[in-house]
Amino acid sequence: LPDLSERGRKLLLEYAELASFDSSASPADLLEGLESSRDVEAKRMAVAARVSAVVTDVSQQEMGDTLVALRDEMQVPIDYDVLARATLRALLECEYRDDRFYRVVRVWGGRVVRLLRASDLSSARVFVAAVLSDPSYSHDRTGIVHEGVARILTPETVRTVIEVSGGSNPDQGALDLFADFGIAAVDPLVQHLAMEEDGQVRRAITELLAASANRNPRVLDDYLNHQPWYVIRNLAIVLGKTDRDAAVPGLRRLLSHEEYRVRVEVLRSLVRLMRQNAAPILIRSLGDENERVRQTGASLLRSNEADDLDQLLTDELAKERLRPEVAIQVIKILGSRNTELGRETLKGFASKRFTLSSQTRAFRDAARESLGQL
């Protein structure tokens, strides 16, 4: 509720006592009987009748100035949405009874759902932020509020948001909305991601999930251990879309995931997050048992902008620890980059005329082929 001055608070308490028709009553007594909308309506009508009677009585007296002030007060415009948000925050702050706190959260959730179904994402966002940004409730009530968010973000509601905000590429309004939902939206979105069969909807959910987890990507860490591979693959994409350094440790752990399709997305996300610093990881990926992973690593290396990439590749070849097929990949990558250091390294391999080793001959042939294409 709006903050009251000391005088305003005193007047409100006096009015509460007057309206109760009992000078010994307390304001808390006014809350009795408000269990249903019908009870609330009856109380409202009773208060309205009492106010009308008081005003009528005053109007028959010589109190013109008072009536003018009262009329001016009644004509002050009220932004009911602002009042509703202030009321929600105040109720969440002061309501100490769990059942009543649950009720306030349900009322808030119902309002947000109605706005989302009406395609009014901007208004919904304001009501979401009113509760979740700078929470007025105590930390021990966070679980109740997160349950409320889960009730809001049903698969049907999420689909509605996706449909009105651009399909598989949600617009900025939807992304801002889910950024305000924050980590409270992570669990319901991950659950939807696991069940959703429509590819376009899954892509949209990854965008919304990235917005929700953006401030703290580590909230996804637990899901990386206990979800099917196809969910983890999408979560790897999400971590990359957060553009946060905090997402890197979780992705590194997935480099050894048994499913190659997960490893492919991990490489792409790490390059997005680490940029040129991902070069050593990409070089190691050339030795992966799966050809798709090796191809992805090679492709990402060719476009990597690390200043010392050619030196890194040359050093790896000099160590002679790479498997032959990996070394040949490195030779071809050096050739495709066409730098001075790369050309010198290739010339070193290509100049070996006489060799009994089939491996060395393969390296020589790959180097000559790469040089011939320059």
DSSP string, 31-84: GTT-SSHHHHHHHHHHHHHHHHHHHHHHHTSS-HHHHHHHHHHHTS---HHHHH
Confidence (pLDDT) at 366: 83
Q: Among the listed ranges 60-69, 79-88, 219-228, which one has the minimum average pLDDT value?
A: 60-69
Confidence (pLDDT) at 352: 78
User: Nearest to residue 111, comparing CAs of 87, 142, 141, 143?
Assistant: 87
**Interior/surface letters 131-144, b for 16+ CB within 10 angstroms, e for the rest:** bbeeeebeeebeee
Domain 232-306 top-level CATH class: mainly alpha
**What is the DSSP-derived secondary structure letter of residue 226?**
S
Neighbouring residues of 348: CB distance < 8 A, sequence distance ≥ 6? 367
CB 144 within 8 A of CB 180: no
Report the chain's C-alpha Rg in angstroms: 33
CB 364 within 8 A of CB 352: yes
What's this model's pTM, rounded to 2 decimal places? 0.73
In the block, tokens 């940004």 appear at: 133
Confidence (pLDDT) at 308: 86
Rounded CA separation 194/234 (Å): 9
* Whether residue 116 has pLDDT greater than 60: yes
Where does the pLDDT of residue 292 fall: very low under 50, low under 70, confident under 90, or very high at 90 and above? very high
Confidence (pLDDT) at 337: 83
Rounded CA separation 193/153 (Å): 12
| 188-213 residue pLDDT tens | 999 999 999 999 999 999 999 999 99
302-305 contacts: CB < 8 A, separation 24 or more?
302/333, 302/336, 302/337, 304/271, 304/276, 304/278, 304/279, 305/275, 305/276
Confidence (pLDDT) at 329: 86
Greatest alpha-carbon span in the chain: 121
Between 250 and 331, residue with greater pLDDT: 250
Confidence (pLDDT) at 250: 96
Confidence (pLDDT) at 34: 45
Domains of the chain, by residue range, sit at 6-74, 78-215, 232-306, 308-374
How does the average pLDDT of the chain come out, rounded?
A: 85
214 — phi, psi (to 5°)?
Answer: -60, -40
Between 48 and 332, residue with greater pLDDT: 332
